Chain A
Amino acid sequence: MNMAMSTTTLTERYIQEVVRRIPADQRDDVASELRTTIADTVEARDSADPVSAEREVLTEMGDPIRLAAGYADRPPVLIGPDLYPTYLRLLVVLLSTVLPVVTAVLVGIDLFDGKGLGSAIGTGISTVLTVGAQMIAWVTVVFAIVERSRHHDGVVGSTDKWTPDDLPEPRRQNKRGASACASAVWNALLLGLIVWQHTAEPYRAAGADGSVDRLQVLDPGLWSGWIWPILVGLAGLVVLDLVRVAAGRWTVPLAAWSAAAEALFALPLVWVLYQQRFFNPDFLTDFNGDWTTPDSFYTGVILVVLVMSGSAVFNRFREAHQ
């Protein structure tokens, strides 16, 4: 009696696990058929121990999720081979173009608000992480839903045909053109920000006598020295990026010129950061309060500048050689 109870429960539990994953109108029918089939199979084993025979049969039937996928006529995958290429292409485009633009805009807003470089960098990092994760999550959800509804509709699979127009070469050129465009916009924005913080003195600090002092964020001393190669380098990069967009691709001379501009921009910047003469000391005092900017902050920023400039130069030459 007990034995019979427990075997019945095992089969029933298995069947429930299968049928709750298939459309409601087929559940009863599939359940009845499975019940008979499993009983037939167990009976055919002619085993002395029906409990272990039942276990064996259920083990051979395998994972209920997989079996249910077979009944529901949809593959046990989130995004199938038909949609996968489109899914991947869309993700790459979103993460490589939209995400940087959104990040740049939010960082720019922070800087215009005079929130300081540290806070702006924090905004940048958290934007990349949260917006990036959101993009990946939503694109995945939408594609998974599309995958499911497609397999619900038709018995036979794909209807969208691949044509030679989908070949990646022109697409990649366009994408790179767009990335050169984005790079030009970003460098122009940076150039504008540096000049603007010098002329508008946007940071407001409480002066000793209760008045409000307007301060530059960057060290004013830079304007009699190192800021000039940085600005000329940035301007050069903007011009060369635009030339690249117009020319359609990087050529070796163009890449060499932009490597020179990149060096003109990045090396003095790194030097100034290394000497910790980048920020206006008055601004730092007011912004940091009791806190002192750690050396590791400067080291980190220097590394970021070097890696970004280095990889930009490398990519331009690589594209020129293709």
Chain B
Amino acid sequence: MAHSIVSLVSPNELILSQVQELRRGTVVLACLVLLEEPQYGYALLETLNDAGVTVDGNTLYPLLRRLEKQGLLTSEWNTDESRPRKFYRVSPEGSQVRTGLVREWRDIVGSISLLTKDD
């Protein structure tokens, strides 16, 4: 007889939390793609969410700094406008990482669609 673990979490909640896991790494990839053009935090957040890559500010803003610390992004303060804004863009190293990640992403999509072609 198969054992089943009785869970108090509904399937929908389980899907939600798994989706969060799936999406976690995609934010980095999306940032590296979008930041080919310099962009500041809030505008990037809007662009990402409009593109369907949902992420909260309290995740994105620290993430940008971590990517900068890792040398994948560079930043520059722009003081031309009324508010000084920190603009991020991809460094040459970040471009390389992005190319690698895009390749990896295509592999994953390929593998999963092979596995799920009968569904």
Contacts and interface: CB of A to CB of B under 8 A. Distances in A.
Interface of A: 26, 29-30, 32-34, 36-37, 39-41, 44, 60-62, 66-67, 70-71, 73, 155
Contacts of B40: 36, 40
A70 B58 contact: yes
Contacts of B56: 60
B69 A36 contact: no
Interface of B: 40-43, 46, 56-59, 61-63, 65-66, 69-70, 77, 83-86
8 contacts: A33-B41, A36-B84, A40-B40, A60-B58, A61-B58, A66-B58, A73-B69, A155-B70
A62 B60 CA distance: 13
A71 B62 contact: yes
A67 B62 contact: yes
A37 B84 contact: no
B99 to A, nearest CB: 20
Given A37-B57, A40-B83, 8 more contacts: A37-B42, A39-B83, A40-B42, A60-B57, A61-B57, A70-B62, A70-B63, A71-B61
Contacts of A70: 58-59, 61-63
Contacts of B61: 33-34, 37, 70-71
A66 B41 CA distance: 18
B84 A32 contact: yes
B65 A71 contact: yes
Tell me the interface secondary structure of chain B in the complex: helix
A36 B84 CA distance: 7
Q: Which of B65, B77, B84 has most A Cβ within 10 Å?
A: B65
A30 B65 CA distance: 9
Contact of B69 (A33, A37, A155): A155
A33 B46 CA distance: 16
Contacts, number: 54
Contacts of A26: 65
B58 A36 contact: no
Contacts of B43: 40
A212 to B, nearest CB: 71
Contacts of A66: 58
Contacts of B59: 70
A71 B62 CA distance: 5
Contact of B86 (A36, A62, A67): A36
A41 B69 contact: no
Contacts of B63: 70
A41 B70 contact: no
Contact of B42 (A32, A44, A155): A44
Contacts of A44: 42, 46
Contacts of A33: 41, 61, 86
Nearest to B86: A33
Contacts of A29: 86
Contacts of A36: 40-42, 83-86
Closest 3 CB pairs of A and B: A70-B62, A40-B42, A71-B62
Contacts of A34: 61
A112 to B, nearest CB: 55
A66 B43 CA distance: 23
A62 B58 contact: yes
Contacts of B58: 60-62, 66-67, 70
